[in-house]
Amino acid sequence: MLSAVERKIDQFINDLNDKEVSLLYTKLPHGKRLRAKLILKIAGSNLSVVKTAAVVEMIHAASLLHDDVIDDAYTRRSKPSLNALYGNKTAIMLGDILYSKGFLELNNISPEVAKIVSNAVVQLSLGELKDVSLSKTFNIDKEIYLDMIYKKTASLIEASAGAAAVLAGKPKDAYLTYGRNLGLAFQMIDDLLDITSDSETLGKPALHDFVEGKVTLPYIYLYELLESEDQKRLVLLHAKVLSKEEQAWIMQKMDEHQILLKCYTEAKELIDEAVELMNENGEEALSDIAQEMIDRNF
Binding site for Mg ion (CB under 5 A): 67, 71
Cβ proximity to ligand FPP: between 63 and 160 the closer is 63
Three-class DSSP category at 37 = helix
Measured CA to CA, the distance from residue 261 to residue 266 in angstroms comes to: 9
* Sign of the torsion formed by the C-alpha atoms of 238, 239, 245 and 250: positive
- Contact residues toward ligand FPP (CB under 6 A) are 59, 62-63, 66-67, 71, 73, 95, 99, 121, 124-125, 128, 152-153, 190
Least Cβ distance, residue 124 to ligand FPP (angstroms): 5
Measured CA to CA, the distance from residue 88 to residue 83 in angstroms comes to: 5
Cβ proximity to ligand FPP: between 64 and 174 the closer is 64
Cβ proximity to ligand FPP: between 93 and 226 the closer is 93
Q: Which does 105 bind (CB under 5 to 8 A by kind): Mg ion, ligand FPP, none?
A: none
The answer to whether 176 and 185 are in contact (CB under 8 A) is no
Q: Which does 33 bind (CB under 5 to 8 A by kind): ligand FPP, Mg ion, none?
A: none
Angle between helices 142-149 and 111-134 (to 10 degrees): 140
The DSSP letter of residue 295 is: S
Least Cβ distance, residue 159 to ligand FPP (angstroms): 12
Measured CA to CA, the distance from residue 212 to residue 295 in angstroms comes to: 25
Least Cβ distance, residue 216 to Mg ion (angstroms): 12
Measured CA to CA, the distance from residue 137 to residue 130 in angstroms comes to: 11
Cβ proximity to ligand FPP: between 33 and 66 the closer is 66
Least Cβ distance, residue 97 to ligand FPP (angstroms): 10
